[in-house]
Amino acid sequence: DVQLLIFIRRCRELNMSLDEIKTLVQVQRQPNISCDTVDSMIAQQLDNVRKAQKELQKLERSLAKLAKCCTSNKIEDCKILNTLNASH
């Protein structure tokens, strides 16, 4: 039981869903089958992480641009708020 909990915790640290963890627990009970399922799940998770990193990089650039654009001391002249309120 303790080993299973450790396994589940490690999977959650890798941001795996409960359904994915359930699948991994089930395939471990069949040691002679191919590990293609496990390989595929890890590859998909890696792809998800890479996509999230790209999105976070975009977010960081946008926030850095906003942080640099305002030199005003008054809300009425705040370029950050003006930018956020602007129609694109």
pLDDT of the residue at 88? 64
* pTM, 2 dp: 0.73
User: At 76, is the pLDDT very low, low, confident or very high (cuts 50, 70, 90)?
Assistant: confident
Residue 76: CA count within 13 A, CB half-sphere: 0
Per the structure, the count of domains in the chain is: 1
Give CA torsion, residues 79, 83, 86, 88, to 10 deg.
150
**Domain at 75, CATH number:** 1.10.1660.10
Burial of 41 (0-12, 13-18, 19+ CB in 10 A): buried
Domain containing residue 59: 2-85
Q: Find the helix or strand (DSSP H, E) in which 12 lies.
A: helix 2-13
C-alpha dihedral sign at 43, 45, 51, 53: negative
